[in-house]
């Protein structure tokens, strides 16, 4: 089957055409993403009203471009999948309404997709990955450890109680006068830095629950910067390296506990269990190194989809639609309203009734 995917939940406008192979993985026929980064960078973050208008401006052209690149005509598409939440309501309205209009006029089914579900399932497009598996989503808006039991069947094991991890990188960068988005800037500044110079806090480390907390880290960074003012380039490098080390240690503890819990809940799982990472922060090499080592230690396979599929895109939305189609799960009603808040745990409660 062929699915047209549409993503507009945050600051990327995206359209994609994806198909599913016999072996259960996917083929990306077109993947178009327009980042609004430049429009928001002056404000140091995403401005909802600007984002919504930018989606309106760009979406039609992007969909046409995705179709053209894929060589697929609209009437050959089997279904439309659009992000219906969670995210900024203005953008969600633009994408979901556009998806509905295309589905309605072509007579094709519509899938209203949870953005987080898109992130959770992407790894199955590129890797032959069986359920259950653990997924760590680390982006600008989310930090979650999720048990993926099956399509539409997710259990959130941990989440941040304050800032998302990407947000911590962005705020730290801002404090240090580094450019937005902060993740790549902090990572490159950290190279050549002394990671032992500052002993930053590692919140919740040692606690049994699997949640995260990163706002204290940002405060510690501010204090460190004030303590050494005027801040030199070397100071910045040392702070960034120490910041990444604190995060690495925190994840080692938090995720390590998650892997142990997984093993105790699924002792009989066949084959090697997997930890999948998603979200923009997954680009970070230090984080990848820590997670790779951790997985090795606990006997897990570490799966990181290509960077382009880790950040926001429409491929993952189309893919979530394809996964539902492959199981003959029902499409969504045209009355489906976008949801700015939509926890993954109830991604598709209606689907569970069908017994997967
Ligand atoms: P969401 O997907 O939760 O709605 P988002 O659009 O902000 O939010 P992404 O586009 O997946 O999420 O990721 C962007 C985030 O990833 C930013 O916070 C950015 O700083 C961070 N990031 C990108 N590259 C790196 C890196 N190399 N190291 C650390 N963080 C990074
Ligand atoms: Mg983004
Ligand atoms: Fe995302």
pLDDT by residue (tens digit) across 262-286?
999 999 877 899 999 999 999 999 9
pTM over 0.90: yes
Is the CB of 138 inside a 6 Å radius of any atom of ligand 1? no
Helices (H) and strands (E) in the chain, counts: 13, 10
CA–CA–CA angle 352, 354, 356 (5° rounding): 70
Spatial separation of the C-alpha atoms in residues 220 and 228, rounded to whole Å = 13
Is the CB of 181 inside a 6 Å radius of any atom of ligand 1? yes
pLDDT by residue (tens digit) across 73-122?
999 999 999 999 999 999 999 999 999 999 999 999 999 999 999 999 99
Residues with CB under 5 A from ligand 2 (ion): 10-11, 312
Query: Residue 297 has which token pair?
Result: 């230690």
Closest ligand 1 atom to residue 12 Cα is 6
Spatial separation of the C-alpha atoms in residues 133 and 153, rounded to whole Å = 11
pLDDT by residue (tens digit) across 134-181?
999 999 999 999 999 999 999 999 999 999 999 999 999 999 999 888
Nearest Cα neighbor of 346 from 7, 5, 86, 82 is 86
Is the CB of 26 inside a 6 Å radius of any atom of ligand 1? no
pLDDT by residue (tens digit) across 25-55?
999 999 999 998 888 877 877 889 999 999 9
Spatial separation of the C-alpha atoms in residues 278 and 127, rounded to whole Å = 14
Query: Residue 195 has which token pair?
Result: 């990671």
CA–CA–CA angle 86, 92, 93 (5° rounding): 140
């Amino acid at each position: 089957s062929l699915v047209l995917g549409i993503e507009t939940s945050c600051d990327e406008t995206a359209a994609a055409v994806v198909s599913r192979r016999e072996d259960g993985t996917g083929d990306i026929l077109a993947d178009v993403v327009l980042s609004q980064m430049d429009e928001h960078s002056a404000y140091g973050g995403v401005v909802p009203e600007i984002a919504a208008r930018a989606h309106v401006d760009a979406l039609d052209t992007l969909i046409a471009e995705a179709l053209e690149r894929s060589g697929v005509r609209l009437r050959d598409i089997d279904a439309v999948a659009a992000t219906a939440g969670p995210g900024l309501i203005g953008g969600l309205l633009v994408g979901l309404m556009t998806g509905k209009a295309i589905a309605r006029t072509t007579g094709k089914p519509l899938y209203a997709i949870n953005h987080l579900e898109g992130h959770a399932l992407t790894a199955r497009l590129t890797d032959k990955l069986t359920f259950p598996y653990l997924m760590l989503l680390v982006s600008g808006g989310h930090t979650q450890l999720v048990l993926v039991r099956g399509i539409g069947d997710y259990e959130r094991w941990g989440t941040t109680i304050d800032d998302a991890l990407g947000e911590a990188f962005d705020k730290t960068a801002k404090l240090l006068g580094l450019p937005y988005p902060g993740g790549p800037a902090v990572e490159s500044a950290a190279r050549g830095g002394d990671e032992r110079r500052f002993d930053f806090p590692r919140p919740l480390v040692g606690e049994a629950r699997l949640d995260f907390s990163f706002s204290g880290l940002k405060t510690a960074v501010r204090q460190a910067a004030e303590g050494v003012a005027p801040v030199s380039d070397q100071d910045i490098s040392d702070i960034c390296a120490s910041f990444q080390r604190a995060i690495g240690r925190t994840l080692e503890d938090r995720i390590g506990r998650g892997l142990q819990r997984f093993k105790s809940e699924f002792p009989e799982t066949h084959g090697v269990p997997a930890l999948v990472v998603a979200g923009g922060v997954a680009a970070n090499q230090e984080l990848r190194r820590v997670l790779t080592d951790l997985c090795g230690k606990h006997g897990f396979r570490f799966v990181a989809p290509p960077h382009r599929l880790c950040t926001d895109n429409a491929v993952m939305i189309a893919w979530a639609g394809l996964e539902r189609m492959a199981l003959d799960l029902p499409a969504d009603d045209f009355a489906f309203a976008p949801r700015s808040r939509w926890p993954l745990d109830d991604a598709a409660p209606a689907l569970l009734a069908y017994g997967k």
